[in-house]
Amino acid sequence: MKIEILGMGCPKCKILYENVQAAVKEVGIDAEVIKVEDMDTIISYGVMLTPALVINGEAKASGEVSSSEEIKKWLKK
Protein backbone atom coordinates (compact mmCIF):
# COMPACT_ATOMS: atom_id res chain seq x y z
CA MET A 1 0.00 0.00 0.00
CA LYS A 2 1.25 3.46 -0.86
CA ILE A 3 0.20 6.42 1.28
CA GLU A 4 1.17 9.96 0.35
CA ILE A 5 0.97 13.07 2.49
CA LEU A 6 0.69 16.07 0.19
CA GLY A 7 1.87 19.43 1.52
CA MET A 8 4.72 21.84 1.80
CA GLY A 9 5.83 20.84 5.30
CA CYS A 10 3.43 22.97 7.36
CA PRO A 11 2.59 22.02 10.95
CA LYS A 12 -0.72 20.46 9.84
CA CYS A 13 1.16 18.31 7.31
CA LYS A 14 3.40 17.04 10.09
CA ILE A 15 0.41 16.17 12.28
CA LEU A 16 -1.25 14.32 9.40
CA TYR A 17 1.97 12.37 8.81
CA GLU A 18 2.04 11.38 12.50
CA ASN A 19 -1.64 10.35 12.35
CA VAL A 20 -0.96 8.20 9.30
CA GLN A 21 2.01 6.54 10.99
CA ALA A 22 -0.10 5.76 14.06
CA ALA A 23 -2.97 4.36 11.95
CA VAL A 24 -0.65 2.15 9.91
CA LYS A 25 0.92 0.78 13.09
CA GLU A 26 -2.45 0.15 14.76
CA VAL A 27 -3.93 -1.59 11.71
CA GLY A 28 -0.72 -3.58 11.29
CA ILE A 29 -0.37 -3.24 7.53
CA ASP A 30 2.70 -2.95 5.37
CA ALA A 31 2.60 0.52 3.83
CA GLU A 32 5.00 2.92 2.20
CA VAL A 33 4.33 6.37 3.70
CA ILE A 34 5.90 9.27 1.85
CA LYS A 35 5.72 13.05 2.01
CA VAL A 36 5.13 14.83 -1.29
CA GLU A 37 6.15 18.49 -1.39
CA ASP A 38 6.39 18.95 -5.17
CA MET A 39 3.61 21.36 -6.20
CA ASP A 40 3.20 19.83 -9.68
CA THR A 41 2.66 16.40 -8.17
CA ILE A 42 0.20 17.78 -5.63
CA ILE A 43 -1.78 19.52 -8.37
CA SER A 44 -1.75 16.35 -10.49
CA TYR A 45 -4.02 14.75 -7.86
CA GLY A 46 -6.50 17.61 -8.24
CA VAL A 47 -5.71 18.85 -4.75
CA MET A 48 -6.15 22.56 -4.14
CA LEU A 49 -5.81 22.60 -0.35
CA THR A 50 -3.15 20.96 1.77
CA PRO A 51 -2.55 18.93 3.72
CA ALA A 52 -4.01 16.14 1.66
CA LEU A 53 -4.00 12.38 2.01
CA VAL A 54 -3.68 9.99 -0.94
CA ILE A 55 -4.02 6.23 -0.52
CA ASN A 56 -3.06 4.04 -3.48
CA GLY A 57 -3.43 6.95 -5.88
CA GLU A 58 -6.85 8.08 -4.62
CA ALA A 59 -7.21 11.41 -2.79
CA LYS A 60 -9.10 10.70 0.43
CA ALA A 61 -8.95 14.10 2.16
CA SER A 62 -7.86 17.61 1.31
CA GLY A 63 -7.47 20.74 3.41
CA GLU A 64 -7.87 18.94 6.72
CA VAL A 65 -5.95 16.89 9.23
CA SER A 66 -7.64 13.50 9.22
CA SER A 67 -7.68 11.68 12.54
CA SER A 68 -5.92 8.36 12.93
CA GLU A 69 -9.36 6.77 13.50
CA GLU A 70 -10.63 8.07 10.15
CA ILE A 71 -7.43 6.96 8.41
CA LYS A 72 -7.75 3.46 9.89
CA LYS A 73 -11.20 3.13 8.28
CA TRP A 74 -9.71 3.93 4.85
CA LEU A 75 -6.82 1.53 5.40
CA LYS A 76 -9.14 -1.35 6.25
CA LYS A 77 -11.14 -1.03 3.02
Cβ(23)–Cβ(68) below 8 Å: yes
28 vs 61: CA distance, rounded Å: 22
24 vs 64: CA distance, rounded Å: 19
Catalytic, 24? Answer no
Helix (H, G, I), strand (E, B), or coil: what is residue 5?
strand
25 vs 14: CA distance, rounded Å: 17
Q: Which of 10, 43, 48, 49 is catalytic?
A: 10
Q: Which of 5, 13, 53, 55 is catalytic?
A: 13
Catalytic, 11? Answer no
Catalytic residues: 10, 13
